[in-house]
Amino acid sequence: MANDTTITVIGNLTADPELRFTQSGIAVASFTIASTPRAFDKQANEWRDGEALFLRCSIWRDAAENVADSLEKGARVIAQGNLVQRSFTDRDGNNRTSIELNVLEVGPSLKYATAKPNKVDRRNGGRPAAPSPQGEQWNGGGQAAPAADPWAGGGNQGGYDDPPF
pTM of the model: 0.69
pLDDT at 125: 62
What whole-number distance in Å separates Cα of residue 133 and Cα of residue 63?
Answer: 26
pLDDT at 90: 93
C-alpha dihedral sign at 108, 86, 14, 21: negative
What whole-number distance in Å separates Cα of residue 142 and Cα of residue 131?
Answer: 13
pLDDT at 159: 39
C-alpha dihedral sign at 133, 135, 139, 141: negative
Residue stretches of the chain with pLDDT short of 50: 128, 131-165
pLDDT tens digit sequence for 12-52: 999 999 999 999 999 999 999 999 999 999 999 999 999 99
pLDDT at 139: 42
